[in-house]
Amino acid sequence: MATSSAVTRTAARPGRPVPTRRTTELVLVLAAVLLAVFGYIEVGVNVDGTVPADAAEYGAALGVLALAAHAVVRWRARYADPLLLPIAVLLNGIGLVVIYRLDRATAGRSAAPTQLLWSGLGVALFIAVVLMVRDHRRLRRYAYVGALAALVLLVLPIFFPPVYGARIWIVIGPLSFQPGEFAKILLAVFFAAYLAVHRDALALTGRRVWRWQLPRGRVFGPVLLIWAAFVGVLVLETDLGMSLLYFGLFVVMLYVATARTGWIAIGLALAALGTVTVGWLSPHVHSRLTDWLDPLGSIAAGKGANQIAQSLFAFAWGGELGTGLGNGHSMLIGFAAKSDFILATIGEELGLTGLIALFLLYALLISRGFRTGIALRDPFGRLLAIGLAAIVGLQVFVVAGGVLALIPLTGMTLPFVAQGGSSVVTNWIIVALLVRMSDIARRPAPEEA
């Protein structure tokens, strides 16, 4: 390949050992933990005037999790991309700090300890995936089973009571789980497997309508069916953010596999049509669209500030440098301040500077995912890595765009940062898969070693 990435260039150079970069990773991981502990102390100093008593414990917990993950990567994925794990640790750490800070403003409803527990589970699953998935290509075998399982997971919440107007939760006793989060990985695996096999047929056969090549129903049918089932379930459950994400993921992976730009046009047209239809039919969605078009409209109408307006107030108050952790008033947003609207707290207390730094962290994570995909040799792996990176990118855009009034608000969690166990666990699995695949991409061929 004339345009191969830096990673493959290094691997192709004979007689020179490929650097593992594990020490780089260790230093970055430790820096990420220290940054989180610093944030934790800042909250304590700003709110109580003293260093929180449990700062050491908190730092230790995060440190142990991070070092355990690092040790496993060092042991089983020596050539993995050294940026993936530190970024995940830092994002998770920032999330814990901000949730801990918001706990201080909501007496009696602590979310930070639970979130730390979920982070622990996430890291455990990260370790499990890195250890058990020795070669990502084995996942291909479970593509159809996985898709079916995902569908079942998505249907299940219909039988549980709705939470805040959305039937997306499975509630068992004190535990609640959002299966849609986990299902997106299974869906990415299915798309990758299916498109890797059928991409030639999809791209080249079929009828031509005006300028666009439409694939034969036989080839395209199953994938469209699975996708329609997913989106149908999501619309019924009124989880718009997630259906938007699935839709975007589908379009991106189809384009990457087939290089047919027509898919993007059709995809955008369908998305617009879907939004308008749902916006027309569902009053819930209709009000979201109205709020997006005029975030401050409810104030002029004498009904006070809605959540979007409150979110914009929080961002604006932060300005360039922010108020400092613990000094903002983002609790005025009310409901979902720790989950869907957590970005507003970051914007208010860390300012534009902190917010852009956070966006750049995501950009870095996404670009490392895409790089991994491009560096791999097998089409399945390439599509999977790209799909997983696209999930992170689209999700950040949908949730951040929503709270910044760039696009209509759809309930979604900011990867790694927002409160929500399912989300944290899922994102750790995504990073685990990317670590595994980047290890394979950079690993020198056995005969050269």
Secondary element (H or E) of residue 232: helix 217-236
**Among 267, 297, 324, 444, interactor with other proteins by CB under 8 A:** 324
- Rounded to 10 degrees, the C-alpha dihedral 26/29/30/33 comes to -160
Task: Pick the stretch among 9-17, 139-147, 173-181, 251-259 that binds other proteins (CB under 8 A).
Answer: 251-259
* C-alpha to C-alpha distance for 20 and 443, rounded to whole angstroms: 9
Binding mask 196-235 for other proteins (x = CB under 8 A): ---xx--xx-------------------------------
- Between residues 150 and 383, which has the closer beta carbon with respect to other proteins? 383
316 exposure class (CB count in 10 Å sphere: 0-12, 13-18, 19+): exposed
Q: Which is nearer to other proteins, 61 or 90 (CB)?
A: 90
The whole-angstrom separation of Cα 182 and Cα 177 is: 9
442 touches other proteins by CB under 8 A = no
Nearer to other proteins, 123 or 433 (CB): 433
Q: Of 436, 415, 434, which is closest to residue 367 (Cα–Cα)?
A: 434
Select the residue interacting with other proteins from 59, 82, 347, 415 (CB under 8 A). 347
The window from 48-56, 97-105, 181-189, 317-325 that contacts other proteins (CB under 8 A) reads 317-325
38 lies in the binding site for other proteins (CB under 8 A)? no
Span of 100-108, 111-119, 286-294, 378-386 interacting with other proteins by CB under 8 A: 378-386
Calpha distance 410→423 (Å, rounded): 15
Cα gap 131→399, rounded to integer Å? 32
Q: Which residue has the tokens 């159809």?
A: 144
With contacts defined by CB under 8 A, name the span among 122-130, 172-180, 219-227, 393-401 that binds other proteins: 393-401
Rg of the Cα atoms in the chain: 22
Region near other proteins per CB under 8 A, out of 127-135, 147-155, 365-373, 423-431: 365-373
Q: Which of 35, 220, 363, 443 binds other proteins (CB under 8 A)?
A: 363
| 327 scored as a contact of other proteins (CB under 8 A) | yes
The CA distance from 228 to 213, in Å, is 21
Sequential DSSP letters for 79-94: TS-TTHHHHHHHHHHH
Shortest distance, position 364 Cβ to other proteins, whole Å: 10
What is the residue type of 215?
Answer: P
Nearest to 253 by CA among 195, 204, 181: 195
For the CB of residue 225, give the shortest distance to other proteins in the complex, in Å: 23
Q: Are 246 and 230 in contact (CB under 8 A)?
A: yes
- Could you tell me which of 221, 225, 233 has the C-alpha nearest to residue 153? 233
CA–CA gap between residue 362 and residue 73 (Å, rounded): 21
Question: Binding of other proteins at residue 386 (CB under 8 A)?
Answer: yes
Interface residue with other proteins, options 224, 229, 305, 336 (CB under 8 A)? 305
CB of 53 to other proteins, least distance (A): 25
**C-beta of 61 vs 414, nearer to other proteins:** 414
Q: Which residues bind other proteins (CB under 8 A)?
A: 1, 3-4, 199-200, 203-204, 252, 255-260, 296, 299, 304-305, 309, 312-313, 315-321, 323-324, 327, 329, 332, 347, 351-352, 355-356, 359-360, 362-363, 366-367, 370-371, 373-374, 379, 382-383, 386, 389-390, 393-394, 396-397, 400-401, 404-406
